[in-house]
């Protein structure tokens, strides 16, 4: 018998696109609708702060699928379609045009949005964030020789933009409120590596500073005023102070929300017919033993296989460990697991030369590993984490000892 059910996916990012792909791959033959708020087909976001930001090339490779693929798989993709509410009782979503779209099962892939500065002058022209293709295009046009670029926030996006700006010849200042950029994620030992990297490339990295307001003339930003009364001149201010999950739809619909849409290990929310995936999902991770919300590309790529299996009442794969990567200047990095900045850090390799593997340990057990300019060690690092075994610190630091032999 034909499957007469309708599954609706709200959100046109990587997680949404991989979810409709997975549903078809797993045999779902019913009606499948993807509602994307942007005017583009779903695309991957890492190039926006990396190669595409620097060169303006390769955007075509960022799109998950082309229009012909969606048509061939009988998937209705509606771009530029903003969902404004969810009626759980009627199993309907309502769009900004008033259209009501019915569903038997609903998947929220609404992602996250850049956190905005709540300061005077934050609405001036030349104050930008980075999330969309249009944001990346605008930034690239402004990253020119001798442009004065100020980054508010020293997180991953801020530092990647800083690197792109320096490579374009811009004068770059990074303003970070903590003692080191990334210290809340990496702890001081490894965070210092990134601080030194940017300073060596000419970035004016100012730590322990507070931004008071953004100042401007004729509606355009001209500088950033700090708490000490000084002003950093700016032609462009890039705000990179984190992201917030897009939970408004879920909240208004009465779903459980806490730092994202709360879901079980397979993405099922407090409503058994509504699921969540990607940046917006705060999922009970079975290996980590707690709720985890991951905003990185690999999660949007891998999590849909788990969630869509549950939507079809099938068994899916085991959840992956959190993973993210960055490229800044000549530094490439991969990070597996979920360490704590307070965890003990053991380094294998050359920390100062920026060719090393760092391990985070809690009670002698590896919680996370980061390989910097060292490649093809991801599986071994993940094996150490998943083993849950205490490891010998001296052997962990000794590059002559195989990582596989530590488990």
For CATH 3.30.390.30, the residue range(s) in the chain are 330-406
| Per-residue pLDDT tens over the stretch 14-34 | 999 999 999 999 999 999 999
Whole-number Å distance between alpha carbons of 239 and 44: 21
Provide the pLDDT for residue 58. 87
CA–CA separation, 176 and 190 (whole Å)? 16
Backbone angles phi, psi at 120, to 5 degrees: -60, 130
CB of 106 within 8 A of CB of 83? Answer: no
Please tell me the class of the 6-113+244-311 domain: alpha beta
299-349, pLDDT tens digit by residue? 999 999 999 999 999 999 999 999 999 999 999 999 999 999 899 999 999
Mind listing the pLDDT tens digit for each residue in 352-394?
999 999 999 999 999 999 999 999 999 999 999 999 999 999 9
* Architecture per CATH, 127-241: 3-Layer(bba) Sandwich (3.50)
Residues 33, 334: Cα–Cα separation, whole Å:
34
Question: CATH second-level architecture of 330-406?
Answer: 2-Layer Sandwich (3.30)
Between CA 177 and CA 102 the distance in angstroms is 47
Joined tokens for residue 191: 């965070």
- The residue behind tokens 């919300």 is 293
What does the pLDDT average to over 165-178?
97
pLDDT digits (tens, 9 = 90+) for 100-148: 999 999 999 999 999 999 999 999 999 999 999 999 999 999 999 999 9
Q: Does residue 1 have a pLDDT over 80?
A: no
**Residue 20 exposure: Cα atoms within 13 Å on the Cβ side:** 33
| pLDDT score of 407 | 79
Residues whose CB falls within 8 Å of the CB of residue 304, separated by 6 or more in sequence, listed in order: 15, 18, 19, 21, 22, 277, 278
Domain(s) of CATH 3.50.50.60: residues in the chain: 6-113+244-311, 127-241
pLDDT tens digits, residue range 194-246?
A: 999 999 999 999 999 999 999 999 999 999 999 999 999 999 999 999 999 99
Task: Characterize the bridge pairing of strands 112-114 and 243-245.
Answer: antiparallel
Evaluate if pTM is beyond 0.75: yes
Structure tokens at 405: 């032999």
């Amino acid at each position: 018998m034909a499957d007469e059910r309708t599954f609706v996916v709200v959100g046109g990012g990587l997680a949404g696109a991989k979810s409709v792909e997975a549903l078809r791959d797993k045999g779902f033959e019913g009606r499948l609708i993807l509602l994307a708020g942007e005017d583009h087909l779903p695309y991957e976001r890492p190039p926006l702060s990396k190669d595409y930001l620097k060169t303006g090339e390769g955007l075509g490779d960022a799109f998950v699928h082309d229009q012909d693929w969606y048509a061939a798989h009988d998937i209705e993709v509606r771009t530029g379609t903003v969902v404004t509410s969810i009626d759980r009782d009627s199993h309907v979503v309502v769009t900004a045009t008033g259209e009501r779209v019915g569903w038997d099962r609903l998947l929220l892939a609404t992602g996250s949005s850049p956190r905005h500065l709540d300061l005077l002058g934050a609405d001036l022209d030349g104050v930008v964030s980075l999330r969309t293709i249009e944001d990346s295009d605008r930034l690239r046009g402004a990253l020119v020789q001798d442009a004065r670029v100020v980054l508010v926030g020293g997180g991953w996006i801020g530092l990647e933009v800083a690197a792109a700006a320096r490579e374009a010849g811009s004068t770059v200042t990074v303003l970070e409120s903590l003692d080191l950029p990334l210290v809340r994620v990496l702890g001081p030992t490894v965070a210092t590596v990134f601080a030194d990297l940017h300073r060596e490339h000419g970035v004016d990295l100012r730590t322990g500073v507070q931004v008071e307001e953004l100042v401007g003339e004729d509606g355009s930003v001209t500088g950033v005023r700090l708490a000490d009364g000084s002003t950093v001149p700016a032609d462009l201010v890039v705000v990179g102070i984190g992201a917030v999950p897009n939970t408004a739809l879920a909240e208004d619909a009465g779903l459980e929300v806490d730092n994202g849409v709360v879901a079980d290990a397979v993405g099922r929310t407090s409503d058994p017919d509504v699921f969540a995936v990607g940046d917006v999902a705060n999922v009970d991770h079975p290996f980590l033993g707690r709720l985890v919300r991951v905003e990185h590309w690999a999660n949007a790529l891998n999590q849909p296989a788990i969630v869509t299996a549950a939507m079809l009442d099938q068994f899916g794969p085991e959840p992956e460990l959190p993973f993210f990567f960055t490229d800044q200047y000549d530094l490439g990095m991969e990070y597996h697991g979920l360490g704590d900045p307070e965890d003990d850090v053991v380094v294998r390799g050359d920390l100062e030369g920026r060719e090393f593997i760092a391990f985070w340990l809690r009670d002698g057990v590896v919680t996370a590993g980061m390989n910097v300019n060292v490649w093809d060690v991801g599986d071994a690092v993940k094996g150490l984490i998943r083993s849950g075994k205490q490891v010998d610190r001296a052997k962990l630091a000794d590059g002559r000892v195989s990582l596989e032999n530590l488990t």
